[in-house]
Amino acid sequence: MDRSRGALVAGALFCTAASGYLVGVHQAGGGGGTPPRTYLLNLNLFGRSLHLTLTVGTMGVAVILMLTVLLAVAVILTMVASHRKRQAEAANRELETEIVERRRAQEAVSRLNAELERRVAERTLELQAANAELEAFCSSVAHDLRAPLRGIEGFSAALFEDCRGRLDQHGLDYLERIRKATARMGQLIDDLLALSRVSRGELRRQKVDLTALGWEVVADLRRADPERRAEVIIADGLSASGDLQLLHAALENLLGNAWKYSSKQPQARIEMGCRGEQHGQTVYFVKDNGAGFEMKYAGKLFKPFQRLHSVSEFPGAGVGLATVQRIVRRHGGDIWAESGAGQGATFYFTLGPAADPDRLSPAPEECSAGNSPAGG
């Protein structure tokens, strides 16, 4: 349709130009009834004079040629517009195709998301069932292990009371080792149960006063060892968003380790505070001047039952720091240590970003302020 229309316009243009040219030539040659008139045009352009002599016939030809040129321009513009229209239609078709493809892709993504959500839901149910079975298994194992331990401990205590006078020093030493071994086995069972419980259950976040919680743990340590003398410093205003029970267990292990490993220092010093932020999270620390450890063994610190000191030197099961790591990671944080042999140890930890917009953690400038020392 566009091509036939262009051909018609071009034919009309050619007929108009031919007719105009013949009429102009006829008038210029005097073929008409009226002789052509002559016009003198004087033009002054840029300081120069231009003299033109035109007859009526010539002017008619000029006008027709000018109209012809304008008509040609109009035809060209029409053809350009038609070409652009075709380009726009092609672009629209491509756009429609792209929209259809995107819609199909979105539908495919929606189907994949639905499938993923279904699988996640199924996996969650499986994990919940596995956790329930694991909890039941741990409880059963703990009960089954405690029963013979209670028997060993009871009979060894009875043997010590009833037959102490008939045993020599070697016998008494063996009996004491049995009693200590059963006590350590019982502690291992308790630690394993505590470690398994850390990874289960709902995390109940609330505003926790870490300063008060730290002093509570220190008070328990002093009651358990009233003869111990140590300087304890806990910064004022330490707070965080977290689970109260889990954070209490974490500070029990961290401050308990600091208390234990600094026990052989004549002037033991334990400090708890914070040192600003890292990746938008407040960095807390527990520091002591105790035995310390070589940094090349730092990778073993947070693995269950991995110890850097012998049981005879410092008692323990090697589960405490593994428990702390699980608690910290459940809060979305991290834990690491810095130390040197005989130079004490510093444990740093974060507890994830604060959930309360009113900022539950102290500002960086508050971390080193308001320390509260306590000796004794």
Residues 51-103 pLDDT 10s = 666 555 555 656 667 777 777 777 788 888 888 888 999 889 999 999 999 99
Residues whose CB is less than 8 angstroms from the CB of residue 76 and which lie 6 or more positions away in sequence, other chains included: none
pLDDT(1) > 70 = no
Instruction: Tell me if 295 is assigned to some domain.
Output: yes
368 & 220 share domain: yes
- Is 209 inside a domain boundary? yes
**18 close to 58: Cβ distance less than 8 angstroms:** no
Percent helix, strand, coil in the chain, to 5, is: 60, 15, 25
The answer to whether residue 366 sits within a structural domain is: yes
Q: How many CB atoms lie within 10 A of CB 271?
A: 19
Closest CA to 232 of 209, 253, 262: 262
Q: Are residues 217 and 81 in the same domain?
A: no
pLDDT attached to residue 357: 40
Q: Are residues 82 and 221 in the same domain?
A: no
Can you give the pLDDT at residue 271?
A: 94
Residue 287 pLDDT > 90: yes
Task: Identify whether the C-beta of residue 44 lies closer than 8 Å to the C-beta of residue 50.
Answer: yes
- From 97, 123, 144, give the residue that closes a domain: 97
The pLDDT value recorded for residue 372 is: 45
Could you tell me if 178 and 156 are in contact, meaning their C-beta atoms sit under 8 angstroms apart? yes
Residues 118-151: tens digit of each pLDDT = 999 998 888 778 777 777 777 776 677 777 888 8
Q: What is the DSSP code string of 125-140?
A: HHHHHHHHHHHHHHHH
pLDDT higher than threshold 80 for residue 109: yes
Transcribe 266-328 into DSSP letters. TTEEEEEEEEEEETTEEEEEEEE-S----GGGGGGTTSTT--SS-TTTS---S-HHHHHHHHH
Mean pLDDT of the chain: 77
Residue 45 domain boundaries:
2-97
From residue 283, alpha-carbon distances to 205, 274, 276, 278 in Å are 18, 5, 6, 7
| Residue 133 falls inside a structural domain | no
pLDDT digits (tens, 9 = 90+) for 186-212: 777 777 777 667 766 678 889 999 999
Q: Does residue 183 fall inside a structural domain?
A: no
pLDDT score recorded for residue 38? 60
213 and 93 share one domain = no
Beta strands in the chain (DSSP E): 38-45, 48-55, 206-209, 230-235, 239-242, 268-278, 281-288, 335-339, 345-349, 371-374
pLDDT for 371 beyond 50:
no
From residue 191, how far is each of 318, 321, 324, 337 by CA, in Å? Answer: 9, 11, 12, 22
Among residues 73, 97, 121, the one where a domain terminates is: 97
Give the CATH number for residue 347.
Answer: 3.30.565.10
How many C-beta atoms lie closer than 10 Å to residue 208's C-beta?
A: 22
Q: Collect all residues with Cβ–Cβ distance below 8 Å to 86 and sequence separation of at least 6.
A: none
Q: Is residue 176 part of a domain?
A: no
In a domain, 175, yes or no: no
Strand partners, 55: 38
Residues 208 and 357 in one domain: yes
Q: Are residues 223 and 364 both part of a single domain?
A: yes
DSSP state of 31: -
Choose one of 71, 97, 123: the last residue of a domain: 97
**AA identity, residue 257:** N
pLDDT of 284 > 90? The answer is yes
Instruction: Name the residue among 75, 109, 100 with its Cα closest to residue 3.
Output: 75
- Per-residue model confidence (pLDDT) at position 255: 93
Classify residue 259: in a domain, yes or no.
yes
Is the entire prediction scored with pTM above 0.85? no
Label residue 116 by pLDDT band (50, 70, 90). Answer: very high
Tally of domains in the chain: 2
Residue 297, number of CB atoms within 10 A of its CB: 13
- Contact (Cβ atoms closer than 8 angstroms) between residue 247 and residue 213: yes
pLDDT > 90 in the chain, percent: 20
- For residues 92 and 232, membership in a common domain is answered with no
The larger pLDDT score, comparing residue 16 to residue 372, is at 16
The average pLDDT across 226-245 equals 90
